[in-house]
Amino acid sequence: MTSTVEIPLWLAALAGVLGLLGLLDRIVGPSLRWFFRKRVNRAIDRLNERLDLKIQPFKLTKRKVLIDRLVFDPEVMAAVEAHVDEEGVPREVAVEKVERYARETVPAFSAFAYFGFGMRLSRWVSQALYRVRIGVYNDKELSAIDPEAAVVFVMNHRSNIDYLLVTYLASQRTSLSYAVGEWANVWGLRQVIRAMGAYFIRRKSRNPLYRKVVARYIKMAVEGGVTQAMFPEGGLSRDGKLQPAKLGLISYMCEGFEAGVSRDIVFVPVGLNYDRVIEDRILLESIAEEKQPRFNAGPFSAIKFVLRLMWMKATGRLYRFGYACVSFGTPLSLTDYSAGADLDVEALGEVLMERVGSVIPVLPVSLVATVLLETDRSLSPLELKAETAKLIARLKAVGAHLHVPRNDDDYAVDVGLRMMRMRGLMIEDAQGLRANADEDRVLRYYANAIAHMT
């Protein structure tokens, strides 16, 4: 008992350091955590003072607490029991699955990551790639939204840049929580996206236990007043047309809604359009090959893409891809829409997509592509501008929202022609200007963006 034990000096030093760290954690750690938590809370309070739609306490709740709430939610537990009876597996195995699904779904929102890193990155990438513009925007209508309501931005899905573009443009009003597909659930990118407040969804999963976990998280977020953004089309439009709504997320949000009792849900329609969609050819090829589009967008390729943009910008070789425009439509209150009657989710989905379609901006490339496809002959520049003027008049007659650069129709045609000339989408010779038949699919892709208005 009293014999001497010799140990190496490095081991004694390591033990001493670990013991000191443990002592500091017990004595100093709580005070330090309280100090930094107080500073973070103060920063969030200051941030909420300038945001129209505040960051709700639900979003700031510790991730572990949200996971536990989700796992032990009564409806999730009922689904566990049903799974046990149906599959004949031990209850512990089913609960372990639920915990795994919950950890996969629940985000880890960081106000610093969102408003510090995320907002700046979104702004830089958006402005580096496009001339970013806001089309329709009624500040009075948006400011009149009940601050206690759960706000959901409902958008058409043109490009993966949509996430960055809307995050950047909405950052002065609120923080958005997105539903993100499996493509982003990879190491490195996963952690960043979770810190931005997004949650992952296996869109093709038909596992009832998994779907119940996701449904309950979305409902919990709505009940907590979290501002969300969603793409009802369920994925990128592969042909450029506005697609009908897939009702999964909408039905999860509206489940059990009672006007005057439940927290109101306010849907804000958002329309997006681009003079050039980076993924257009990949999307079109996926139609021809009858398979889902594949994007090699791991974290390293994303970093490589950003670094390449930075180098091109520094060397003056970065030419932006035309205009990107976002329009915000009239908010729809679910309390007012339902008027106390039973809610028809399918009809609601149709109304929302109609409102989204009505505010999709008309941009120069879509205008010129439509005119060239509607005309079966070569046009002189003057004839092209005359035909475009007729199309503009038709669009205005149905209430379409046009972004005309510099308020000059002729200049809008010049912008569209310049973008199409750079990509070889049109032929220009002694006979005049006409569509390049070899690029018919690409031209139709951009014309389809406004086809529902023509």
For residues 418-430, give the mean pLDDT: 90
**Same structural domain for residues 301 and 381?**
no
**Same structural domain for residues 244 and 329?**
yes
Structure token digits, residue 91 = 């209850």
Pairing mode, if any, of strands 177-180 and 228-230? parallel
d(CA 11, CA 360): 67
- In this structure, the chain runs to a length of 454
What pLDDT, on a 0 to 100 scale, did the predictor assign at position 140? Answer: 87
What pLDDT, on a 0 to 100 scale, did the predictor assign at position 40? Answer: 46
Residue 118 lies in a domain: yes
d(CA 176, CA 196): 8
What pLDDT, on a 0 to 100 scale, did the predictor assign at position 377? Answer: 87
What pLDDT, on a 0 to 100 scale, did the predictor assign at position 203? Answer: 80
Domain boundary residue among 305, 334, 358? Answer: 358
Residue 38 lies in a domain: no
DSSP per-residue codes, 189-216: HHHHHHHTT-EE--TT---HHHHHHHHH
Question: Which residues, in sequence order, are bridge partners of residue 434?
Answer: 427
Alpha carbon 81 to chain centroid distance? 34
309 vs 37, residue with greater confidence: 309
The CA distances from residue 170 to 152, 167, 179, 441, in Å, are 12, 5, 16, 33
d(CA 363, CA 281): 19
Per the structure, the complete domain to which residue 330 belongs is given by 63-274+281-358
**Same structural domain for residues 110 and 252?**
yes
Residue 28 lies in a domain: no
**Same structural domain for residues 318 and 378?**
no
Domain boundary residue among 326, 358, 390? Answer: 358
Q: Which residues contact 292 (CB under 8 A, 6 or more apart)?
A: 286
Residue 85 lies in a domain: yes
d(CA 121, CA 167): 10
What pLDDT, on a 0 to 100 scale, did the predictor assign at position 250? Answer: 94
- Domains identified in the chain, total number: 2
Residue 87 lies in a domain: yes
Residue 288, pLDDT > 80, answer: no
Alpha carbon 426 to chain centroid distance? 32
For residues 247-271, give the mean pLDDT: 93
358 vs 191, residue with greater confidence: 358
**Same structural domain for residues 142 and 198?**
yes
Measured in degrees and rounded to the nearest 5, phi and psi for residue 258 equal -125, 115
DSSP per-residue codes, 240-260: SSPPPPP-HHHHHHHTT--TT
Q: Determine the Cα angle at 66 with ends 179 and 219, to 5°.
A: 50
Count CB-CB contacts under 10 A for residue 315. Answer: 8
pLDDT band at 110 (very low <50, low <70, confident <90, very high): confident
Residue 49 lies in a domain: no
Residue 66, pLDDT > 80, answer: yes
CATH number at residue 371: 1.10.10
**Same structural domain for residues 76 and 185?**
yes
pLDDT tens-digit profile of 192-209? 777 888 888 888 788 899
**Same structural domain for residues 262 and 148?**
yes
**Same structural domain for residues 129 and 239?**
yes
pLDDT tens-digit profile of 135-177? 988 888 888 899 889 999 999 999 989 988 998 888 777 788 8
Residue 333, pLDDT > 90, answer: yes
**Same structural domain for residues 323 and 371?**
no
Domain boundary residue among 330, 358, 386? Answer: 358
**Same structural domain for residues 246 and 317?**
yes
Note the helical H segments in 28-135. 29-50, 57-60, 63-71, 74-87, 91-105, 111-112, 119-129
CATH number at residue 89: 3.40.1130.10
Dihedral of CA 8/9/14/19: which sign?
Answer: positive
pLDDT band at 286 (very low <50, low <70, confident <90, very high): confident
**Same structural domain for residues 247 and 327?**
yes
Residue 389 contacts residue 284 (beta carbons within 8 Å): no
Q: How many CA atoms lie within 13 A of 168 on its CB side?
A: 21
Residue 294 lies in a domain: yes
The CA distances from residue 397 to 31, 299, 327, 403, in Å, are 65, 46, 18, 15
What pLDDT, on a 0 to 100 scale, did the predictor assign at position 198? Answer: 86
Residue 300, pLDDT > 80, answer: no
Angle subtended by helix axes 409-423 and 364-374, to nearest 10: 80
Residue 7 lies in a domain: no
Percent of the chain whose predicted confidence (pLDDT) is above 70: 84
Mean residue pLDDT across the chain: 85
Residue 80, pLDDT > 80, answer: yes
pLDDT tens-digit profile of 198-253? 888 888 788 899 999 999 999 999 999 999 999 999 889 999 999 999 999 999 99
| Residue 453 one-letter amino acid | M
Residue 38, pLDDT > 70, answer: no
pLDDT band at 47 (very low <50, low <70, confident <90, very high): very low
| Residue 102 one-letter amino acid | A
**Same structural domain for residues 436 and 334?**
no
What pLDDT, on a 0 to 100 scale, did the predictor assign at position 51? Answer: 62
